[in-house]
Copies of this chain bind each other. A is one copy, B any other.
Amino acid sequence: MTAFHPPLEDMGFVLERIAGLDRILDLPAYRHTDREIVGLVLSEAAKFASEVLAPLDRAGDLAGAVLAPEGVRTPPGFAEAYARFIEGGWNGLVFPGEWGGQGLPWLVGTAVAEMWNAANLAFYLAPLLTQAGIEALLVHGSPEQKRLYLPKLVSGEWTAAMCLTEPQAGSEVGALRTRAERDGEVYRIRGQKIFITFGDHDLASNIVHFVLARLPGAPAGTKGISLFLVPKFLPTDDGRPGPRNDVRCLKLEHKLGIHASPTCVMSYGEGEGAVGWLVGEENEGMRCMFTMMNNARIAVGIEGLGVAQRAFGKALAYARGRLQGVRDGRRVAIVEHPDVRRMLLTMRARIAAMRALCYVTAAAVDRAYQDPDVEAARAARGRVALLTPIVKAWCTDRACEIASLAIQVHGGMGFIEETGIAQHYRDVRITPIYEGTNGIQAIDLVNRKLAMENGRLPWALFEELRGELAEPKSVLREPLAHALGRLEEVTRRLQDADADTRQAAATPYLRLFGDVLGAFLLARGARAAENDARGAAWPGLARFFVHQLLPSALAEAEAALASPAELDPALLPAG
Chain A facing B: main interface SS:
helix
Interface centre among A434, A504, A508, A552 (most CB of B within 10 A): A552
The B-contacting residues of A in range 423-479, CB under 8 angstroms, are 425-426, 429-430, 432-434, 437-439, 442-443
The number of times this chain is found in the oligomer is 2
List of B residues within 8 angstroms of A571 by Cβ: 345, 348-349, 537, 540-541, 544
A437 and B408 form a contact (CB under 8 A): yes
B570 and A506 form a contact (CB under 8 A): no
A255 and B573 form a contact (CB under 8 A): no
List of B residues within 8 angstroms of A345 by Cβ: 567-568, 571-572
Instruction: Report the minimum CB–CB distance from A366 to chain B (whole Å).
Output: 28
A340 contact from B168, B418, B439, B558, Cβ within 8 A: B439
How many A residues have CB within 8 A of the partner chain? 94
Query: Is A1 interfacial (CB 8 A cutoff)?
Result: no
A412 and B434 form a contact (CB under 8 A): yes
B172 and A335 form a contact (CB under 8 A): no
Contact with B along A488-503 (1 / 0, CB 8 A): 0000000000001001
List of B residues within 8 angstroms of A439 by Cβ: 337, 339-340, 343, 408
List of B residues within 8 angstroms of A556 by Cβ: 551-552
Given contacts A414-B433, A426-B256, A432-B408, contact A344 B572 (CB under 8 A): yes
A172 and B324 form a contact (CB under 8 A): yes
Query: Is A422 interfacial (CB 8 A cutoff)?
Result: yes
Show the binding face of A for B, using Cβ within 8 Å: 7, 9-10, 165, 168, 170-172, 175, 194-195, 253-257, 316-317, 320, 323-326, 335-345, 348-349, 400, 404, 407-408, 411-412, 414-418, 422, 425-426, 429-430, 432-434, 437-439, 442-443, 500, 503-504, 506-508, 536-537, 540-541, 543-544, 547-549, 551-556, 558-559, 562, 564, 566-573, 575
28 contacts between A and B (CB under 8 A): A171-B324, A175-B324, A254-B417, A255-B417, A256-B407, A256-B417, A316-B573, A335-B569, A336-B569, A338-B500, A338-B503, A339-B507, A341-B567, A341-B569, A342-B504, A345-B572, A408-B439, A411-B433, A411-B437, A412-B434, A415-B433, A537-B572, A540-B571, A544-B571, A547-B558, A548-B562, A548-B566, A554-B555
